[in-house]
Structure 1
Amino acid sequence: MSHERRTDPSGSTEMTETEQVEGLRASTQRLEHSEHLQRALFAIADLAASGLDMQRLLEGLHRIVSRLMHAENFYIALRDPLRGTIRFIYFSDVADGQVYRPDQELSTEQLSDSITLRLIQLARPVRGPSDRIARSLGLTQGHGAGTPSADFMAVPMCRDGEVFGVLAVQSYEKGGEYTQSDERVLAFVAGHVLNVVERKLGQEALERRVAERTRELALTNDRLQKQVRESERAVHLQATLYRIAALGHGQESNEAFYRSIHQAVGELLDVESFCIALVSEDGQWLDFPYYVDSSGAELVRRPMGRGMSEYAIRCAQTIRLESDAINALIAQGEVDAATYGTPAVSWLGAPLMGARGVMGVVVVQSYRSDLYYTQQDAELLTFVSYQIANTLQRRQQAEALQALNAQLEQRVQERTQELRRQIAVRERAQKQLKHQVMHDSLTGLPNRLYLRERLERALGAQKLDPACGFALLYLDVDRFKLFNDGLGHGVGDEVLRIVSARMAECVRAPDIAGRLSGDEFAVLLEHCLQPSQACMVAERIQARMAAAIEVGGRQLHVSVSIGIAMSNPSYRTVDQLLHDADTALYRAKAAGRQRFVLFDESLHASAMNVLDLEQQMRNALEKGQFESYFQPIVRLADGDVIGYEALIRWRHPELGLLAPGRFLPAAEETGLIETIDWHMYRLACQAAPDLLGRDKILNINISPCHFHSRNFPRRLLDLAAWAGVAVDRLCVEVTESSLLSDPGAAAQILGSLHEAGVRIALDDFGTGYSSLSHVHRFPLRTLKIDRSFIAPLGRGAQQRSTAIVSAVLSLAASLDLDVVAEGVETDAQRDVLLSMGCVHGQGFLFGEPVPATGLP
């Protein structure tokens, strides 16, 4: 049969049968290839929805790609845009094995001679022998750490025009070259692989954050439970001490009295073996008025000798010993084995201190190997022993009084005055004990325990009668840490005493002022129905604190911040009331100290808004909504730009462009400030090479949180090198207030940057507590005069500002420091500054902050 085309009489040409068969075969191959590719995409989708871990998921992707082409040697590289690093999350190679670990982050410097980095930078696929590709990409020093391949093919993984990684296959055998079709398939698959990998990485990151948050919540719960247990233990101890104190006034027999003490102590300690031993009046005998011994031993009156009880009496302090230590005392002759009795596994004894010395000892001991007394038990028994001794003394005195009355009735009148004196002593002792338990030893004010008791009563009264309103003022001494650290704890204690005395003067019975802890105080205002009443007391307290105090030869000015919580039926516990008052106090201190804030629901809502804003800022970081703006710094004489200060803006999808004041305070409170700063630094440094030219300076602001990272200088210098910003073109700005958090760490960080050639500028100069000391201590190059001193210039009342600016300029000239005046907004201000010798300025007069693309 002829395979030539046939021509019909009209001139048209018909396709031969062979051509038809070839066309059908090609169409079939295309359909099979399309179906094969579709099955691969379905398999990738199944992997994405599976619960496999990252390694098994990547191995599955490798197998899928291997079904589409020759992919025995295969790797996936991911780029982190924020950190500027690359990870080879999957690497399978028959020649090189595992060159890179999946968790290994590689900088662009480490991969500077690699095909992978060049592909990410160029954002285009390559195909062919690796040596030829390297030469075409301009790699003169090799092309990575691997073995050169006979054929290599790689495609970028992109989204929205940005490269997020590379997908590559290679072959070391000749004759199996990759085709243009293979390249199209791999490029098509790359986008799906990127989606799967990023989805898995996001899932793993979310799981890590959930696990970290769960651990944090568990630790917080443990701490709270421990605090609750400690509080319950303190309340239980107090109740036990009251019970023991009350026993001294009872009329029961001695046996019943000692048994009651045993039961009370048994609520605090394991006292299966317990005894009270008392020294006779002449000091020659040891009596055992009460004992319970699980070993069955009997204790009888004996001469003072070398027993364990006598040893504790001689030492006049609490003794806690175990069997080895007791045997050592026996070997040294301190304790007589015959007198000691049944050997104990653990022995604990506390002396009973009387008015004339040690009057006896209270002992608990264990014969079990699973029961050992701890140091906490020793402290507890010591505390209890004081109360037992006081109770015993009162009881002994009462018994002596009864005997004296029975024997000497004729001397009743003579002894009446003495008895009254003894009663007064006992009452004073009891009153003093109660006062010590319920009052602060330093200030004499009621303590937290007493205040909580009064608050419990106030809450109970309000539940019975809603008209019984009250208010709680929560106070904190402003800058108290400066007094303590700078002038010593002695001065700090004296400041607290004076503050407490002045506070007590401002309240009237039945209201009370108490000290909670440290420099925190509280005032309970009973029968306070209106917030205005509480505000008046707060104003009275702050006015009383305004007068200077003389402490340690210095005149100090002390102020307090106050949070006010008004009672309402929604409060169920004292802790809720204290929490709301503390929240109001926090707001008062955040607003500038030396003020008071009344708690309302808006403060609670504000705390919730911070949580919402935190999540929005995290989303903004992921979506790149933060932008870098630049404000020029100019030479005042001619307006020439000498540099730019980088400032951050948030392009919010709903609220529009937000200034830093709208979100940076929340970022500092939630801990996101460091991440946002580094994002800002990267944006600023990327724009800097085109912006600065050869002679301009880039100023970036440093938050106080960076002073806690010793790696900050190295990381900043690496970022500048990556962006191509010369070190001497970089200037970091720090505020005076940020240096106060940790001056030592700040000096070390700034010193390292200075040695590397980075300029240091002190921002808002003149607004801090010790501006001159900062100039002396830190390696500064530039002082930026705060805008509050510039604003009055060029107006009528400018004498004070002129004097301050002139002093700063003189100081800078003597120390060879540059000066930049901030907030220059009028020609008059510029002219005054020029006349005073100021060279550089910054402000809206010369330009507002704009993106780099908007600068001339």
Structure 2
Amino acid sequence: MSVKFGRSPAHEGAAQPPLPERLLRASSPQSVVQAWFEADPQLDTHCACVVWSTHWPRDIEAFPPACADAKVIADAIDAVARIRAGENDDVNPRVLYDDGEGAVAVLNSPHAPIDLCQASIARLAETLDLRRMRESVARLEQAEKLQRSLYAIADMAGSDLDMPDMLRGLHRIVADLMYAENFYIALYDRDRDALRFLYFADVVDDQILLPEEEIPLARIERGLTWYLTRDKRPLMGSTPELMQQVSGPLRLHGADSSDWLGVPMLRDGDVHGVVVVQSYTGDRCYTTAEMSLLAFVAEHILTALERKSGRAELERHVVERTQQLQVANSELRREVSERERGERLQAALYRIAALASLDETTGNFYRHVHAVVGELIDAKNFYIALVSDDGGTVSFPYAADQYERDWSARSFGKGLTEHVLRTQRPTLVSRDSAMTMVAAGQIDAGMLGAPTLQWLGAPLLSTEGAIGVVAVQTYEDANAYNERDAELLTFVSYQIGSSLQRRRAAELLRQANAELEHRVEARTLELREQIAVREQVEAQLQHQVVHDALTGLPNRVYLRDRVERALAGLRRDDSVGFGLLYIDVDRFKVINDSLGHSAGDQVLQQVSRRLAGCVRTPDVVARIAGDEFVMLLEHVQDPQTASKVAQRVLRALAPPLHVAGREVQLSCSIGIAIADGQCESVDRILHDADVALYRAKDAGRNRFVLFDDAMHQTAMGVLDLEQALRDALMRDEFEPWFQPIVRLDDASVVGYEALLRWRHPTRGVLTPSDFLKVAEDSGLVSQIDWRMFRLALEAARPLVCAARDGVHRYLTLNVSPRLFLHTDFDKRLLELVDEIGFDPGALLLEVTEGTLLGDPDTVVAMLHRLRERGVEAALDDFGTGYSSLGHVHQFPLRMIKIDQSFVAPFANGVPSRSSALIEAILALGNALGTEIVAEGIETDAQWGVLRGMGCVYGQGYLFARPAPAGHWLG
């Protein structure tokens, strides 16, 4: 039903003023909108509605009020949000005005668009802005009113008014801020757990509460005032609302009010009283703002009461002292002395503050501080202690003591100094109280030091806590300290701490400036040196780019360029051939490992000189990597010529070299490739020479081999095998086989080792020796390993985790060293174990000694992370690596597997030289708590010898050969 807003009956027949005149007369948004609606009937016809607010989207008003339901309000809020987000549309509702700060007006016309009256909208905006400014003025007036009230409270506290008059004045001030016809103030005595109602004014409750009368809290238990005191938080509302706010059942004492507001008077978190206003009329409702206002005013009321009480107390003391003037003459002199002492304290504080700004050494500063403290109290025995930034050390930069001589820094312990640092409070300790603290475990008796009668210390505080302690002590009864001395030292400690902070900040600033200046000077010098070096570098750069830094020979870049040019000449004229000699120094790694890299570098330098003497111009000798060299022999078509050069190289390296005081005998392996018209690239001829080189190494080293078609076919076979491996991964031809690990005393199975097998479609089942090298060279071994891990875990789960005989066994996986180069290997393996649902406590990883010693720190960290999840490690082929007994204790190992080369000599049951090593390994395993497994047991004799030596576990063909998982489950 639409609501019609036509002319009122009183105005029917009378001419209305024109709209502009009515708009000018309108002083509120309500009157502007009403004039607009009366002047434009289509607004009424289309059920239009205007909503506005100066605190959008709060306190929204509407005209006509009956049209502003919840949906209209929500649509208006959404429209304003779209406009502010930059979505400018003219759909209904339409935003008439938005100042961006809260003044908003929106037109809702659900039935049809409305032609907007710009004059009405402009006047509406003006009245909204005017209202917002009036509200701001009102808020300022309220703040000013509150400020005046607080000033008035402060004035009353310092006035000559007696307490009742002051309390009545406080009542008038609160009543000026809110409805407070019914008002009372009560003070709480925590020691007596009682209230005194200093002021009580109530038009309904006629009980009489005298200011001097104490009301125990137990008398008003569970009442509103009781909850204010106990819960320490304001309460506001009607009785049902208050029942929801209190922490327990509510019991009314006195008359029941329609609205009640009370706040506690707090000081440092403790309740000192309450202030309460209440209404019985039913038409008053206190607001949250009034509750906050009353809480704020209550703090000042508490301050005023305390000041008034203090002043009254002071006046009472003045009267008493006046009456007892002659008797209290000595007390008066004491007060004069105290004032003089206060003046001295003030002067001392000023002097200490001035010391912080003087450009003096730290030692002089501390001596001046000592002198100043000595003017206030007995400071013959005086020291300053400072705590380190990490809180672990206490140092004594200054000390003067008639007994103590050792003032070196010490670790943070349980001394009196540390006690003050921990509590951050001044402490006065006598000999007896020190013994009490020792008995309570607060300090150590051994840190009491010299025979001190009294010790007084105060913390040196900064914004971040205690940074040190200033302390004095006495060894004589005549110089005893009291609480006044403690108070004086505390005051001084504040200034000393502040001064130390300022000096430290100034020192840090000076150091920073000095460091900055030094860095600028150093950087300037460095830039000059860099400019000079850069000129030299640019001059050497061309040479270094194409030459080896160690030997001075051409490098790989230079060699490739020369070979490219030789190939270009060969393409132009196929009669101009050339040859390559790929040279590798035999067993060069042994020289590096035994004599060191420096000796190895000297060897390479001498080798390069000998090789350079084996060629003629324009032939080239280049070092392309480590101990690998290449000779380019130009204009060589006959392999015999290249072979003669190779023989010359072998002879040149035959004489011994003298390196690091030792005589070193060298040899080399040489691969020869001759380029012909079929050679299509540099990489091809380098590859051919490299293949020939490795054939020479395989043939026994210290020889040369000429590349031929048979080698080419072998290389092609490797490529075919590599492709077959890729196909095997795609067709999932790899599978795990398992070999048991047994207990030697009864041959019972305790675990299985997973072994890789390739079920080749034409060649049958292949072991890793048939394809592993090609897999490693091609980079496929990592994919094969992870596929093997997944298949082994899936197949072995029923073997080790749910054995039919109820015995839980373990599974070992062989892990190649390259997998430990990946920092996420452990995380990836554990994710795979969790995905498959394999028990990590039943899994062991077999690693070689080379893996452990490659990067020990990284491997140890990774094995520890795996052990935390239950995955253990086993050392495979133990005894064949590097200094095994000297390194094995460094690694978290559960198992050590003795290499089968140490077991083989026991085939006939006769003890061999391996016995001593195996006994040492067994002793090492027992000492480290590590299981020992002997590999390669193939005869009963070996079984018997190992069992007699105390070896517990074994593995080999004697017990079982590797087989698929189904074999062991059948």
TM-score for both structures, normalised by structure 1? 0.43
Query: 1 or 2 for the larger relative contact order (CA 8 Å, sep ≥6)?
Result: 1
Greater Rg by CA: 2
TM-score for both structures, normalised by structure 2? 0.38
